[in-house]
Structures are given as C-alpha cells and as structure tokens.
Amino acid sequence: MNDDFGTEIIASTDMIADLTTALWSGDTGVIGEQSRRALLELIKGPYLSGVKAPMLWSALLANEVVIRSRLHELFLDLVVDRVGEFAFVRNVSTTELTVPSTVRTSALTFLDTAMLLVLRQMLLSGEGEGRVIVGQEDVFEQLRVYRTVDRDESDFNKRLNSSWLKMKNTLRVIHQAGTEDRAEISPVLRLIVDAEQIAAISGEYRRIAEGGAAVALVDADADTNVGGIDDSEVDDHTEEMIS
C-alpha cells in the first residue's frame, strides 16, 4: 500500500514537471516559450503574420484563450483572421470604464495617411481576384492631386517615396512582389483600417484633393498616429487604426 502511494506521488510530481513553463530560475510565467514570443510579437506590432512566422502563428492558435487573457490585462484586444493568417492588437473599446491607450503609436504624415487610403481602396477593388499586386507609380499617380502649386515636383516625389518605404518597412502593409516598384497589398489592411474609420476622414481628404480651403495642410505634414488616424487639423474623428 505504501509502495502504491509512493508511486502515485512520484507520478504526480513527474506530471507537474512536464507541465511547467518556467524558462529560467525564478520564472513565474504560465505560457510556453513560443506562445510568449507570439504575445511579444503582437505587442511589438504592427501584426503577427502566419506566413512570415508559422511557428508563432501555430502557438497563437493553440493558446489563443490564454494569450487573449494576457492582452486583456494590458487593456488590449486581439483580432485574428484565420483565413488571411494574421493577427494584431488594438486598444479595448468599451463604454463601461475609461481605459488607457496602450497601443504603440508612430507619426504619419498627411501623405502617409492618404497613401493608406489609396492602398486600402485598391485592396478592396482587387480582392476577389486573389493576391492584389500594384505598381508604385499607379499608387503615386493617385496621390499627385495633393501636390500644391508651390510644392516642387522633385520634393513631392521624395515625399511619395518616403511614404512608400514606410508602408513597406514600418507598417508592413505592402510587400515587394518581384521588381522594386511592384508590391502586394497585405489583406491585414482591410481590417486595421475599417469602413467607419475611412468614412471619418475620406470626405475631408477628398475636399482637399479637389482644392478645398484646407489644401495648405498638404504642406503642413500634420501628424497621424499608427495607432489611429489622429489628423486633428484635418478631421476631429479620431479612431485607432494600426497597432
């Protein structure tokens, strides 16, 4: 009897050892290494890609409930697209209490924001055909309406190139597709910039493009947050957009 009891204690101890998630002495974490790395990637942003990081994507799906709980403790909500294989976080939206803004932000120029709008429209227009690949000059051409008469063309082209590189390297909403001037638009752009946010700013941007009173703002490079279109000089409707 004593032997059986002793065997049971040993078996239970072995089970605890198998389930431990400690990665170093004194580690009190409750999820495994890959899940932690997936959580970190989500917090760092702008998003976690299943195509780029398949191991982290698998860890996220396997431990989604726990990871979502950890994010809630930071006032962050998790958005997962299983079809597109990407996930990102955004600030919790609730009327039950005032929550802090915890999403990392980065300044965008007026032109950056306008390029996001153009890319999103191109994505929606071509999404039914599979991958949406666009030419750099096609995107630039749609943005030339924002060049004011006093803006030197070569300087404006430099600004366009700067925005293009930001879309590719910082926000990662486009990825090179073959030649340097061709890019695939990531489907993540469809979710991180939703229809309500577009409606809040597109009318004003259209007015500016048509030569409205606010056209001088093209020169002002008003800041926009990666965590939300925050172009307060252009529009008061500020919502989160990209983590």
Each residue's pLDDT tens digit, 18-38: 346 789 999 999 899 999 999
Alpha-carbon distance of 58 to 33, in angstroms, equals: 12
Quick one: tokens of 73? 């403790």
Q: In this prediction, what percent of the chain has a pLDDT beyond 70?
A: 72
Greater model confidence, 4 or 9 = 4
Q: Which residue has the tokens 């991958």?
A: 131
Q: Is the predicted pLDDT of residue 65 greater than 90, yes or no? A: yes
pLDDT average, residue stretch 109-134: 87
H/E stretch holding 188 reads helix 188-192
Q: Of the candidates 240, 236, 218, which has an alpha carbon nearest to the alpha carbon of residue 228?
A: 240
CA 215 to chain centroid: 28
Torsion of Cα atoms, 162 then 187 then 42 then 44, to 10°: 0
Beta strands in the chain (DSSP E): 48-49, 76-81, 86-91, 107-108, 133-135, 174-177, 179-185, 224-225
Quick one: tokens of 68? 């979502």
